[in-house]
Amino acid sequence: MPEKKSGKLPGPYLCSLNYVQAMQFYKYQGTGNDFLLFDNRDQSLQLSTVQIALLCNRHMGVGADGLMLLEQAEGYDFRMVYFNSDGRESTMCGNGGRCLVAFAKSLGIIGPTADFIAIDGPHKATIAPGGLISLHMNPVSGIRIEVGHTILNTGSPHYVQVVADVQAVDVVAEGRKIRNMPQFQPDGINVNFVQLHDGKLKVRTYERGVEDETLSCGTGVTAAAIAATALFEGIFATDIDTPGGHLVVTFTKDSPKSAKDVVLTGPAKFVFMGEIDSAVL
Protein backbone atom coordinates (compact mmCIF):
# COMPACT_ATOMS: atom_id res chain seq x y z
CA MET A 1 0.00 0.00 0.00
CA PRO A 2 1.46 3.40 -0.92
CA GLU A 3 2.51 5.68 1.93
CA LYS A 4 1.72 9.37 2.11
CA LYS A 5 4.72 11.65 1.55
CA SER A 6 4.79 15.00 3.28
CA GLY A 7 3.70 17.83 0.97
CA LYS A 8 3.42 15.69 -2.17
CA LEU A 9 1.01 13.25 -3.72
CA PRO A 10 2.84 9.94 -4.28
CA GLY A 11 1.65 8.90 -7.72
CA PRO A 12 -1.97 8.30 -8.69
CA TYR A 13 -3.08 6.56 -5.53
CA LEU A 14 -3.45 9.42 -3.06
CA CYS A 15 -6.03 12.13 -3.67
CA SER A 16 -6.29 14.97 -1.16
CA LEU A 17 -8.92 17.69 -1.05
CA ASN A 18 -7.21 19.53 1.78
CA TYR A 19 -4.41 18.71 4.19
CA VAL A 20 -6.05 20.80 6.92
CA GLN A 21 -8.46 18.95 9.24
CA ALA A 22 -8.21 16.00 6.89
CA MET A 23 -9.73 12.58 7.43
CA GLN A 24 -7.85 9.71 5.85
CA PHE A 25 -9.90 7.06 4.07
CA TYR A 26 -9.15 3.92 2.10
CA LYS A 27 -11.20 2.59 -0.77
CA TYR A 28 -11.53 -1.16 -1.30
CA GLN A 29 -13.70 -3.29 -3.57
CA GLY A 30 -14.83 -6.90 -3.47
CA THR A 31 -16.02 -8.10 -6.89
CA GLY A 32 -17.01 -4.55 -7.75
CA ASN A 33 -18.87 -3.87 -4.50
CA ASP A 34 -16.93 -0.80 -3.29
CA PHE A 35 -16.47 0.72 0.14
CA LEU A 36 -14.86 3.63 1.98
CA LEU A 37 -12.96 2.40 5.04
CA PHE A 38 -11.86 4.38 8.08
CA ASP A 39 -9.59 3.32 10.92
CA ASN A 40 -11.63 4.46 13.91
CA ARG A 41 -9.88 2.56 16.69
CA ASP A 42 -9.37 5.82 18.59
CA GLN A 43 -13.10 6.68 18.29
CA SER A 44 -12.21 10.12 16.96
CA LEU A 45 -14.44 9.89 13.91
CA GLN A 46 -18.10 10.75 14.36
CA LEU A 47 -20.00 10.92 11.07
CA SER A 48 -23.67 11.80 10.66
CA THR A 49 -26.06 10.06 8.29
CA VAL A 50 -25.90 13.07 5.97
CA GLN A 51 -22.09 13.08 5.97
CA ILE A 52 -21.86 9.37 5.20
CA ALA A 53 -24.35 9.71 2.35
CA LEU A 54 -22.33 12.63 0.95
CA LEU A 55 -19.05 10.69 1.10
CA CYS A 56 -20.68 7.74 -0.71
CA ASN A 57 -22.32 9.94 -3.35
CA ARG A 58 -20.64 9.26 -6.71
CA HIS A 59 -21.17 12.82 -7.97
CA MET A 60 -20.81 15.02 -4.90
CA GLY A 61 -18.47 12.88 -2.79
CA VAL A 62 -15.90 10.12 -3.17
CA GLY A 63 -18.37 7.44 -4.27
CA ALA A 64 -19.05 3.98 -2.84
CA ASP A 65 -21.76 1.41 -2.18
CA GLY A 66 -21.08 1.69 1.54
CA LEU A 67 -18.82 2.97 4.30
CA MET A 68 -17.21 1.01 7.13
CA LEU A 69 -15.50 1.85 10.39
CA LEU A 70 -12.87 -0.45 11.86
CA GLU A 71 -13.10 -0.13 15.63
CA GLN A 72 -11.74 -1.75 18.78
CA ALA A 73 -13.71 -4.63 20.30
CA GLU A 74 -12.76 -6.43 23.50
CA GLY A 75 -12.03 -10.09 22.86
CA TYR A 76 -11.83 -9.65 19.08
CA ASP A 77 -9.31 -8.35 16.57
CA PHE A 78 -11.71 -5.55 15.60
CA ARG A 79 -15.33 -4.49 15.23
CA MET A 80 -16.98 -3.94 11.83
CA VAL A 81 -19.48 -1.07 11.67
CA TYR A 82 -21.21 -0.90 8.29
CA PHE A 83 -23.29 1.87 6.68
CA ASN A 84 -25.14 1.73 3.37
CA SER A 85 -24.63 4.54 0.89
CA ASP A 86 -27.82 6.19 2.16
CA GLY A 87 -25.89 6.91 5.37
CA ARG A 88 -27.78 4.54 7.65
CA GLU A 89 -26.14 1.76 9.65
CA SER A 90 -27.13 -1.55 8.14
CA THR A 91 -26.90 -5.29 8.58
CA MET A 92 -24.04 -7.62 7.63
CA CYS A 93 -22.19 -7.12 4.35
CA GLY A 94 -20.22 -10.12 3.04
CA ASN A 95 -18.09 -8.32 0.47
CA GLY A 96 -17.53 -5.53 2.97
CA GLY A 97 -16.46 -7.99 5.63
CA ARG A 98 -13.75 -9.38 3.35
CA CYS A 99 -12.58 -5.87 2.47
CA LEU A 100 -12.35 -4.91 6.14
CA VAL A 101 -10.30 -8.05 6.84
CA ALA A 102 -7.88 -7.05 4.06
CA PHE A 103 -7.74 -3.53 5.52
CA ALA A 104 -7.02 -4.88 9.01
CA LYS A 105 -4.19 -6.96 7.54
CA SER A 106 -2.70 -3.88 5.87
CA LEU A 107 -2.79 -2.04 9.21
CA GLY A 108 -0.91 -4.88 10.91
CA ILE A 109 -3.83 -5.69 13.20
CA ILE A 110 -4.09 -9.30 12.03
CA GLY A 111 -2.03 -11.94 10.27
CA PRO A 112 -3.55 -14.51 7.91
CA THR A 113 -6.57 -15.06 10.17
CA ALA A 114 -9.08 -12.79 11.85
CA ASP A 115 -11.73 -12.96 14.55
CA PHE A 116 -14.02 -9.95 14.41
CA ILE A 117 -17.51 -8.96 15.44
CA ALA A 118 -20.19 -7.34 13.29
CA ILE A 119 -23.79 -6.37 13.86
CA ASP A 120 -24.92 -9.99 13.35
CA GLY A 121 -22.33 -11.47 15.72
CA PRO A 122 -18.80 -12.92 15.54
CA HIS A 123 -17.05 -13.94 12.32
CA LYS A 124 -13.83 -15.70 11.43
CA ALA A 125 -11.84 -15.13 8.25
CA THR A 126 -8.78 -16.60 6.59
CA ILE A 127 -6.53 -14.93 4.02
CA ALA A 128 -5.03 -17.38 1.52
CA PRO A 129 -1.49 -16.84 0.13
CA GLY A 130 -2.96 -15.64 -3.17
CA GLY A 131 -5.08 -13.02 -1.40
CA LEU A 132 -8.50 -14.67 -1.57
CA ILE A 133 -10.39 -14.25 1.70
CA SER A 134 -12.71 -16.88 3.15
CA LEU A 135 -15.29 -15.34 5.46
CA HIS A 136 -17.27 -17.57 7.82
CA MET A 137 -20.88 -16.45 7.85
CA ASN A 138 -23.37 -17.23 10.59
CA PRO A 139 -25.71 -20.25 10.37
CA VAL A 140 -28.94 -19.64 8.48
CA SER A 141 -32.34 -20.73 9.76
CA GLY A 142 -35.99 -20.00 9.08
CA ILE A 143 -35.66 -20.30 5.29
CA ARG A 144 -39.01 -19.65 3.62
CA ILE A 145 -39.41 -21.67 0.40
CA GLU A 146 -42.13 -20.24 -1.84
CA VAL A 147 -43.16 -20.93 -5.45
CA GLY A 148 -40.38 -19.51 -7.64
CA HIS A 149 -38.57 -17.70 -4.86
CA THR A 150 -37.03 -18.13 -1.42
CA ILE A 151 -36.68 -15.71 1.50
CA LEU A 152 -33.83 -16.07 3.97
CA ASN A 153 -31.47 -14.08 6.17
CA THR A 154 -27.72 -14.52 5.65
CA GLY A 155 -26.78 -11.64 7.94
CA SER A 156 -29.03 -9.42 5.81
CA PRO A 157 -32.53 -10.29 4.56
CA HIS A 158 -32.76 -11.56 0.98
CA TYR A 159 -35.38 -12.45 -1.59
CA VAL A 160 -34.07 -14.92 -4.19
CA GLN A 161 -36.01 -15.32 -7.44
CA VAL A 162 -35.31 -17.74 -10.29
CA VAL A 163 -35.27 -16.24 -13.80
CA ALA A 164 -34.69 -17.75 -17.25
CA ASP A 165 -32.19 -15.09 -18.37
CA VAL A 166 -30.62 -12.97 -15.68
CA GLN A 167 -29.15 -10.56 -18.25
CA ALA A 168 -32.62 -9.69 -19.53
CA VAL A 169 -34.00 -8.67 -16.13
CA ASP A 170 -34.60 -5.01 -15.35
CA VAL A 171 -32.97 -5.40 -11.93
CA VAL A 172 -33.64 -1.85 -10.76
CA ALA A 173 -37.32 -1.74 -11.69
CA GLU A 174 -38.17 -5.28 -10.63
CA GLY A 175 -35.93 -5.24 -7.59
CA ARG A 176 -37.33 -1.94 -6.34
CA LYS A 177 -40.88 -3.25 -6.74
CA ILE A 178 -40.17 -6.31 -4.57
CA ARG A 179 -38.02 -4.38 -2.07
CA ASN A 180 -40.95 -2.02 -1.42
CA MET A 181 -43.67 -4.65 -1.03
CA PRO A 182 -45.73 -3.99 2.12
CA GLN A 183 -44.78 -7.31 3.74
CA PHE A 184 -41.11 -6.31 3.80
CA GLN A 185 -41.59 -2.91 5.39
CA PRO A 186 -40.37 -0.86 7.16
CA ASP A 187 -36.81 -2.03 6.49
CA GLY A 188 -37.22 -3.52 3.02
CA ILE A 189 -35.38 -6.50 1.58
CA ASN A 190 -32.50 -7.15 -0.81
CA VAL A 191 -33.55 -8.80 -4.07
CA ASN A 192 -31.53 -11.35 -6.05
CA PHE A 193 -32.28 -12.66 -9.53
CA VAL A 194 -30.71 -16.06 -10.16
CA GLN A 195 -30.08 -18.16 -13.25
CA LEU A 196 -28.57 -21.65 -13.29
CA HIS A 197 -26.13 -22.06 -16.19
CA ASP A 198 -23.68 -24.94 -16.71
CA GLY A 199 -23.75 -25.84 -13.01
CA LYS A 200 -22.98 -22.28 -11.91
CA LEU A 201 -25.26 -19.57 -10.61
CA LYS A 202 -25.47 -16.18 -12.24
CA VAL A 203 -26.69 -13.59 -9.76
CA ARG A 204 -27.67 -9.92 -10.03
CA THR A 205 -28.73 -8.01 -6.91
CA TYR A 206 -30.78 -4.95 -6.04
CA GLU A 207 -29.59 -3.66 -2.67
CA ARG A 208 -31.72 -1.73 -0.23
CA GLY A 209 -29.91 1.29 1.20
CA VAL A 210 -28.06 1.69 -2.08
CA GLU A 211 -31.43 1.58 -3.89
CA ASP A 212 -29.80 0.35 -7.06
CA GLU A 213 -28.17 -2.70 -8.57
CA THR A 214 -24.66 -3.31 -7.24
CA LEU A 215 -21.98 -5.23 -9.12
CA SER A 216 -22.01 -7.86 -6.38
CA CYS A 217 -23.52 -8.58 -2.97
CA GLY A 218 -21.78 -11.02 -0.62
CA THR A 219 -24.76 -11.88 1.55
CA GLY A 220 -26.85 -12.00 -1.64
CA VAL A 221 -24.75 -14.65 -3.38
CA THR A 222 -24.64 -16.56 -0.11
CA ALA A 223 -28.44 -16.46 -0.02
CA ALA A 224 -28.63 -17.49 -3.68
CA ALA A 225 -26.36 -20.50 -3.19
CA ILE A 226 -28.33 -21.76 -0.20
CA ALA A 227 -31.71 -21.04 -1.82
CA ALA A 228 -30.66 -22.84 -5.01
CA THR A 229 -30.79 -26.19 -3.23
CA ALA A 230 -34.56 -25.68 -2.91
CA LEU A 231 -35.17 -23.73 -6.12
CA PHE A 232 -33.26 -26.14 -8.37
CA GLU A 233 -33.93 -29.74 -7.36
CA GLY A 234 -30.76 -31.78 -6.84
CA ILE A 235 -28.45 -28.78 -7.36
CA PHE A 236 -25.66 -27.84 -4.97
CA ALA A 237 -23.97 -24.92 -6.73
CA THR A 238 -20.99 -23.25 -5.07
CA ASP A 239 -19.62 -21.18 -7.97
CA ILE A 240 -21.31 -17.82 -8.35
CA ASP A 241 -20.84 -15.30 -11.17
CA THR A 242 -21.87 -11.69 -10.57
CA PRO A 243 -21.42 -8.64 -12.83
CA GLY A 244 -18.40 -7.72 -10.68
CA GLY A 245 -16.68 -11.11 -10.61
CA HIS A 246 -16.58 -14.63 -9.24
CA LEU A 247 -17.36 -15.83 -5.71
CA VAL A 248 -17.53 -19.23 -4.04
CA VAL A 249 -20.02 -20.22 -1.35
CA THR A 250 -19.79 -23.48 0.60
CA PHE A 251 -22.15 -24.72 3.30
CA THR A 252 -23.80 -27.75 4.85
CA LYS A 253 -27.55 -28.04 4.44
CA ASP A 254 -28.68 -29.65 7.69
CA SER A 255 -32.41 -29.31 6.93
CA PRO A 256 -34.61 -27.85 4.17
CA LYS A 257 -34.96 -24.66 6.19
CA SER A 258 -31.44 -24.21 7.58
CA ALA A 259 -27.74 -24.27 6.69
CA LYS A 260 -24.51 -24.22 8.66
CA ASP A 261 -20.74 -24.08 8.06
CA VAL A 262 -21.39 -21.23 5.62
CA VAL A 263 -18.25 -19.75 4.03
CA LEU A 264 -18.02 -16.97 1.43
CA THR A 265 -14.73 -16.82 -0.50
CA GLY A 266 -13.60 -14.12 -2.88
CA PRO A 267 -11.19 -11.24 -3.50
CA ALA A 268 -10.82 -7.96 -1.62
CA LYS A 269 -8.81 -5.33 -3.50
CA PHE A 270 -7.25 -2.07 -2.33
CA VAL A 271 -8.18 0.71 -4.79
CA PHE A 272 -6.74 3.95 -3.40
CA MET A 273 -6.32 6.03 -0.27
CA GLY A 274 -7.09 9.68 0.17
CA GLU A 275 -7.91 12.54 2.49
CA ILE A 276 -10.95 14.72 2.69
CA ASP A 277 -11.31 17.95 4.62
CA SER A 278 -13.95 17.48 7.30
CA ALA A 279 -14.99 21.10 6.72
CA VAL A 280 -16.49 20.24 3.32
CA LEU A 281 -18.91 17.70 4.82
Tally of CB atoms within 10 A around 54: 17
Of 15, 56, 93, 99, the catalytic one is 93
Q: Is residue 99 annotated as a catalytic residue, yes or no?
A: no
> CA 93, CA 82: separation in Å to the nearest integer?
7
3-class secondary-structure state, position 113:
strand
> CA 128, CA 263: separation in Å to the nearest integer?
14
**Beta pairing partners, 197:** 200
Question: Are the C-beta atoms of 177 and 211 separated by less than 8 Å?
Answer: no
Q: Is residue 93 annotated as a catalytic residue, yes or no?
A: yes
3-class secondary-structure state, position 3:
coil
Question: Are the C-beta atoms of 34 and 65 separated by less than 8 Å?
Answer: yes
DSSP secondary structure code for residue 21 in this structure: T
Exposure string of 236-245, with b = 16+ CB inside 10 Å and e = fewer, is: ebbebbbbbb
Kindly list the catalytic residues: 93, 217
